[in-house]
Amino acid sequence: MSFATNTGRGLLPRLVILVTREEAEALYHALALASGALALMWEVHVFLTNSAAVLLTKEVKGRTKLSMKGLVGWFVKRRMKKLNIAEVDEVLTKVMKSGGVFYADEAVLRLAGFAPEDLMEGVKLANSVSFLNLAKDADVVITL
C-alpha cells in the first residue's frame, strides 16, 4: 500500500506535531495522534519546545504533571490504571519504537540545564528552522 501526496517529497503523508506545554493532556493527545498516523503508515515528526522539551530527557521520560491537582489528579490516575490505559511514558516509548521521530528544542534544553547526552535514546536536537523545514512540506501540522 502506498500513499501519494501533492508535495513531491515522497509517498507517505507527513504529520508534524508541535507540543509546547509540559502537561499530560498535551503530550498524551500528541502521542495518540502520532500512534494513529503511524498505524496509517504516515511519516510522523513530534517537536517538543518551551517547557515540554524536558519531557524527552532520560530523567523525565515523558512523565508529566497532570494539570489536575490533589484528589482529582489521584482519581484520574487510579481510573486510568483500572481501565488499563497506558501511562504517558509507556505510550511515548511505543510511538518511538514504531517509527515516530521526536525532536527536543536545543535552546530550551540548555536553558533548563540539560545537555544533548541527557536526551532519551533516539531523540534529535532541533531548532525553529528544523521545525519549519519539516512543517512546510507536511500534509498535517498540529500544535498542542
**What digits encode the pLDDT tens for the residues 46-72?**
999 988 888 888 876 555 554 455 556
**What digits encode the pLDDT tens for the residues 103-133?**
999 999 999 899 999 999 999 999 999 999 9
> What's the start-to-end Cα distance of the chain, in Å?
30
The CATH number for 14-143, chosen from 3.40.1260.10, 3.20.20.30, 3.40.228.10, 3.40.50.300, is 3.40.1260.10
* Grid cell at residue 68: 489536575
User: Which residue is listed with cell 534544553?
Assistant: 109
Could you tell me the residue ranges of all domains in the chain?
Answer: 14-143
| Cβ-Cβ contacts under 8 Å for 77 (sequence gap 6 or more) | 66
pTM for this entry? 0.81
